[in-house]
Amino acid sequence: MTLTDQEFDFLRKLLHQAAGINLTTEKKALVIGRLTRRIESLGLSSYGEYFRLIASNTDPAERQWALDALTTNETYFFREPQHFAYLSEIILPKAPPGESFRVWSAASSSGEEAYSIAMLLSERLGRRPWEIIGTDLSTKVLEKAMRGQYPMERADKIPQPYLHAYCLKGVGDQEGTFLVDPSLRKRVKFQHANLMEPLPKVGLFDVIFLRNVLIYFDPPTKRRVVENLLPFMKPEGYFFSGHSESLSGLVDGLVAVKPAIYRKAA
């Protein structure tokens, strides 16, 4: 099979409409690598035939499989540590003591970000109530997140005290992996969400993390996604983006307080 320019343009429009992602021409080889075997296994004769299938949404499971295959999910524990330092040293000491502190990891991928936040909240808030919601477009990575089990090499960014307190080293046939402690996992909830569409009723949050996602969107889509999230922020709540991303001039209602850290107007 050959992926024609016309077929690739059709996929680019479809992916942008479904997930807001701009698929550049440089990604053509990635599409071929990730979809060819799948298309052949379905007995289809061309990429165009497959793209029309997922565009029709007559098979939602197949459409989701394609989105899982074509979206990028790069993450690791305690990524961009300055954010965790700010959360620990500036935000948490000011948290109202009688209220549950709520954080949304809005593009949680396979869970490393959400569990990093959970370790920090457990350490700093102790018995005070807190809650974390993790959402992602990809159901495949959400399954990994809910398991909370990772290769041992993924632990190298976790501070040693947190690693010993909140992670269980695999033994026997689980050797070479570690598991996030069940007591921590039960306080982190994961669910599917497309940030381009109406979002689930998940309440209001003190902090929303949306990091290293907006780089895949064009300016109108960035604005749409952030505006979708703003109603879920408490007054004077915080919004974290990736350090390679900027929200300056993108939407009203957010004020920059540090690089890649914003606060909602009261």
- Catalytic residue numbers read 34, 136
Residue with tokens 């709520």: 102
- CA–CA gap between residue 135 and residue 228 (Å, rounded): 14
Starting from the edge strand earliest in sequence, which strands make up the sheet with 130-136, in order?
A: 188-192, 130-136, 101-105, 205-209, 233-240, 261-264, 254-258
Asked if 203 and 146 count as a contact pair (C-beta separation under 8 A), the reply is no
Contacts of 191 (CB under 8 A, 6+ apart): 133, 134, 135, 142, 200
Q: How many helices (H) and strands (E) does the chain have?
A: 10, 10
β-sheet with 177-180: strand ranges across = 149-151, 177-180, 167-169
* CB 155, CB 112: distance < 8 Å: no
From 123, 145, 120, 150, select the one nearest 133 (Cα to Cα): 145
Residue 10: phi and psi, rounded to 5, are -60, -45
